[in-house]
Structure 1
C-alpha cells in the first residue's frame, strides 16, 4: 500500500494567508476601509476569524501586511526585487522624473490607491500602525531618494550643503499632498515640474548674454 502523507500545515497556512491578503485588499477596494471587518475578510477568504486573530491583532495590521506583499508581488512581476534602487544614468533630472512618474502611476492605480489611503488615514489615528507604516514602507522608499541624491552630490550634480532627506521631501511631499486632496489631477507632467522646480529653484535667473554678443 502507498504510504499516506500527513497534510502539510505550512502549505495550508500559506494558502490561507494569501487568501486573507487578497480578501483584505479586495474588500477595502469594494466597500472602503470603514466597512471592512475581520469577519468580512474571514468570510471572503474562507477561513475562521480566529485564524486571522491568531496572526494579526487588527484589520489594519492585516491590510498593512497585505499591502506590503502586494508591492513585493508587483516588483517580482516587473522583474524587480527588494534591492531596487533609483537608476543612476548620470542624468539626475531624468532619473527622478522616472521614479516620480512611477509613483504617480501607482497612486492612480485603484489596486494600490484604496489600501494606501486606508493605511495613511489609519496611521494618523493609530500610532502603532503609523509607526509600522513608516518603518516598513515610507522609510525604505525615502532611503532610495537619499542614496540617489548623495550619489549626485558625489558627482557634483547637487550642492554639498544640501540635506538629501529634505530634498527628497521637496520632491515627494507635493505628490502626496495633491493625491490626498484630489482637487487637481496627479499627472506625469506635474511630477516632471516638481523635479524641474526642485533642481532649478524658484528665484529668477540672471539674464544670459545678449543674442549675438561676442565673447
Structure 2
C-alpha cells in the first residue's frame, strides 16, 4: 500500500516546470499584447494561473522574468533548428563573406519578428535604467552571440582570409553595430539587402576597389 501511495504522489519538479513554462509564456504574451510598461507581475501570475508569490520566489522582478523567458525562447528556437539549445556556430564554409551574410540575414529576420523584437526592446530599455539587469542581459544574451563572431573571424585569420593584426572584437562591431543602430532607430527598414551591404562594407571598406 505504501508503495502504491508513493507511486501516485505528485511530482513537484514536474509541477514546478509546468508553472515555470506557463510563466514564461504569459510574460512573453503580455509584453506582446500590452507592452512592457503595462505588464505586471500580477498580470503574469493571473495569465499563467499561478500565485504572485510563486513568481517572486523565483524572480525578483518582471524584468528578470522576461529575461529568463526570452533566453528560453532562444533555446527553444535552437532546438527546433536541430541543435541542443545551448550551442550554435556561425557556419564556416571557407567563404567568410557568404557566411557572414547568412548569419546577418538571420539576425535581421529575428529583429523583424515581433516575437523577438518586443521583448528585446523591453529588456534593452530596462537594462539602461537597471544596471544589474543590463549587465545580466549582456552577459547571458549579448556576449554569447558576439563570441560567435569572434570565433568565426579568428578562424578567418587562421585561414588568411582577413588581416592577421585584426582585432575580432572591433571587427564584429562593424557588422552588428549598424544593424543594431537601425533596429533601435526604426526609421529605415531592416532587409536582407541591407545586411548584405553591411557585410560588404565591413569586409571591403569604403575606398574604391582597384
- TM-score w.r.t. the length of structure 1 is 0.94
Look up the match of 1:77: 80
Please, which of 137, 142, 157 is the counterpart of residue 133 of structure 1? 137
Per-residue deviation, residues 148-179 of structure 1 (Å, max 9, x unmatched) = 00000010000011100111011001101101
2:99 is matched with which residue?
95
User: For each residue in 1:31-72, what CA deviation from the matched residue of structure 2 results, as whole angstroms up to 9, or x when unmatched?
Assistant: 000000000000000000000000000000000000000000
How many aligned positions are there?
Answer: 206
**Aligned residue number for residue 3 of structure 1:** 4
Query: Residue 56 of structure 1 aligns with which residue?
Result: 59
Per-residue CA deviations over 1:18-42 (Å, capped at 9, x if unaligned) read 0000000000000000000000000
- 1:32 alignment counterpart: 35
Match of 1:209 in 2: none
Higher gyration radius (CA): 1
Q: CA shift at 1:203, angstroms?
A: 1.4
Q: Is residue 105 of structure 1 aligned with residue 106 of structure 2?
A: no
C-alpha distance in 1 between matches for 2:83 and 2:9: 36
Q: Distance in 1 between matches of 2:43 and 2:104?
A: 35
Write the distance in 2 (CA, Å) between the matches of 1:102 and 1:80: 16
Counterpart pick for 2:23 among 20, 24, 39: 20
Task: Note if 1:197 corresponds to 2:201.
Answer: yes
Structure 2: which 5+ residue stretches go unaligned?
A: none
Q: CA deviation at 1:116?
A: 0.5
Counting only pairs closer than 5 Å after superposition, residues 93-172 of structure 1 correspond to structure 2 as 93-172=97-176
SS at match of 1:171: helix
How much has 1:137 moved relative to structure 2? 0.6
Q: Following the alignment from structure 1 to structure 2, what is the Cα–Cα distance between the partners of residues 172 and 128?
A: 23
Using the alignment, how far apart are the partners of 1:119 and 1:174 within structure 2? 19
Aligned residue in 2 for 1:184: 188
- What TM-score results when the alignment is normalised by the length of structure 2? 0.96
- For structure 1, the residue ranges without an aligned partner over 5 or more in a row are 207-215
Q: Displacement of 1:78 after TM fit?
A: 1.2
- C-alpha displacement of 1:131: 0.4
Looking at structure 1, the residues matched to 13 and 83 of structure 2 have their Cα atoms a distance apart, in angstroms, of: 26
**Structure 1: which 4+ aligned runs deviate by more than 2 Å?**
none
